[in-house]
Each structure stands twice: as structure tokens, then as C-alpha cells.
Amino acid sequence: MPPITYKQSPIVYKQFSVAIDEVLCSKCKICISICECFSYNEEKDIVEVNSTSCKGCGICISSCPSSAIYHIYDDSILNTELTSEEISPFDCTNCDYEYIEEGKDLIFCIRRFDTGKCIEAVADGMNVIVKKCLFSDKKIEDDERIYKLKKILKMFKMENKIKVE
């Protein structure tokens, strides 16, 4: 089997987390009040962002009065040719991938699971696969979002459209 190149690889959707410019930051703490990914470090007198849990939605960017918050763009995935015979996109170190579209399957890490995106995908004829997160010991079966999605799909006799791994 020839190695997979970028054009043959699955479509990978990536969300970019945010960072804070400490010089521009006025420490107004608005970002802390609207997002659980931010915290104030009293010892260092700085606002910090947890980039692992940041979904990259950008609400904090638009609410920052001093324009100190910005997306961290990483286009290295676009500039590198993928040559691995088997791509394992959830073996990441920062949990940056929102989901992966591979043929008729939409694959989520449970931490980045989006019920609305799943319903949209199923309505478009796709299957949804939810994988366990490498950063969590929580069982996927215990996740309330999965339970609710399964219940919704069952009402429409489409419960076979979601698979939990």
C-alpha cells in the first residue's frame, strides 16, 4: 500500500486555541467571567489561558477591551506532506482537533463532541463515531450529551447512526 499523502488523507477540522499578550492585557478579567478556560494567577499578576481545554470559539477575543487575546494559528499541518500509512489524529498532545470527516463518517473525540454538529451530520446521511479522549478517564457511556443524542436519534429510528468506541 502506498503512503497516504495530504490529498488522500481524511479531512481534518482543527480549532485553534487562544493566547494572551501580557503587555496588552489590562487584567479587567472579562475573559475569566465568560470562559472557564481563563484564570487569574495572583502570584504572577497575569491572566492565563488553558489551551488544552480552549475550544477556539473566539468569544473571548471579541469581548477583550484591550485586544490582548488572539488565536494561535498553526498552519504546519497544511505545509507538511503526510506520509504515515496510518493516521491517528486523536493521538494529539493539545486536543486541537474538533472532528474528522472520513468518507461517510464524522469522528469526534469526546472532549470536542458537538451535539448540533452530530445532528447536522446525521441529517446529511453521515455516521457519527465518538472516541474516548486520551486526556480523560471518564467513560463515554456516562456522558449526558451522548445519552441525549442517542435518545433523539432513537425517536427518528436512526440510532444506528452513532457508534461509541
Q: Which domains does the chain have, with CATH numbers?
A: 17-71 (3.30.70.20), 85-164 (no CATH)
Q: What is the full per-residue pLDDT of the chain (165 aa) written as tens digits?
A: 455 444 444 445 556 788 899 999 999 999 999 888 899 999 999 999 987 778 777 889 888 999 999 887 655 544 444 444 444 444 444 455 677 888 899 888 877 778 888 888 898 899 998 887 766 667 777 788 888 888 888 888 988 999 888
pTM exceeding 0.85:
no
Three-state DSSP class for 98? strand
- Look up residue 49 and give its amino acid: V
Print burial letters for 14-53: b (CB count within 10 Å at least 16), e (below 16).
bbbbbebeeeebeeeebbbeebebbeeeeeeeebebebee
